[in-house]
Amino acid sequence: MGLLYDDRGNRMTPSSARKGALRYRYYVSRALETGQRSEAGSVSRVSAPEIEQAVREALTPPSPDHPSPSDEMPLLAQVSRIVVHPSSLTISFVPPDGAEHDHRVSEAGAIEPPSLRVPWSARPSRRRCEVIRAEGDEGPAPRRPMRVETRARLVDGIAKARFWLDDLVSGRVADTHAIAIAEGCSERSVRMTLNLAFLAPSVIQAAIAGILPEGSGISALMNAPIAWSEYPDACGGNAT
């Protein structure tokens, strides 16, 4: 676009980032790119598609408040500068020939070009997720499922614990000390991890399916009771 500036006068230049197969486009304050974070405006980075869409919507259709487009000069070509504020965009236009009377004078006495102020705000990069309950539902609040990363670590820990237990039972390793040396960890860590090999089958199935409630990570389940009847499974009943 080449017209964007933050509210401290720094030009905002195109940038991009990749996440897997996806490519994300941004406009970033020049001050941020040069390592002068303290000199950047209040909005130093914006989504390119989001800001471009906001500008298109602001310029179409034309209104009496700003210049009308023509075949020779599309409306966007009449824009001289777009300043990004936290809650608005200020779009300044190149005054048409003979339209000096459209200029405004600032408090400092400087002549300002005609401009349009458009309400706008950047979307948060992370959206808050909430569980919406049905009207009249007064039962206990639904439990949040465990995080994907937590599930992956837990399943890996269970697999490792069962493998170590099989090694101990078969005699392939002498004791937990030998496992600790081979794994490069403490013997206490090995013993704690081995507790995961004795989890109830229903809990292991729930872990693999990712339906254990939030907080059911490795640390919590390492300290789970050995007796399956002493703790509930992911479905709320006794583990079997």
pLDDT at 177 over 70: yes
Is there a contact between 2 and 55 (Cβ–Cβ < 8 Å)? Answer: no
Report residue 69's pLDDT band, with 50, 70 and 90 as the boundaries.
Answer: very low
Long-range contacts (CB closer than 8 Å, 24 or more residues apart) made by 65-69? 65/116, 66/91, 66/93, 66/114, 66/116, 67/93, 67/96, 67/114
- Other CB atoms within 10 Å distance of the CB of residue 234: 20
Strands (E), 30-133: 45-47, 79-84, 88-93, 104-105, 111-112, 115-119
Burial category of 164 from C-beta neighbours within 10 Å (exposed 0-12, middle 13-18, buried 19 and up) = buried
Q: Give the separation between CA 71 and CA 66, rounded to whole angstroms.
A: 16
Task: Compute and round to an integer the Cα radius of gyration of the chain.
Answer: 30
> What residue ranges do the domains of the chain occupy?
4-119, 148-230
Partners of 105 in the β-ladder:
111
Is there a contact between 32 and 41 (Cβ–Cβ < 8 Å)? Answer: no
What sign results for the dihedral spanned by CA atoms 118, 119, 125, 129?
negative
pLDDT at 57 over 70: yes
- Other CB atoms within 10 Å distance of the CB of residue 22: 7
pLDDT at 19 over 60: yes
**pLDDT number for residue 237:** 41
Report residue 163's pLDDT band, with 50, 70 and 90 as the boundaries.
Answer: very high
H helices of 78-217, in order, are 148-170, 176-183, 187-194, 201-209
Whether the ω angle into residue 124 lies within 30 degrees of 0, i.e. cis, is: no
pLDDT at 196 over 50: yes
Q: Show the tokens assigned to 162.
A: 């069962």
CA distances from 96 to 62, 66, 69, 101, 117 (A): 15, 11, 11, 10, 19
For residue range 82-134, what is the model confidence (pLDDT) as tens digits? 999 988 989 888 876 644 444 454 444 455 567 788 888 876 655 555 555 55
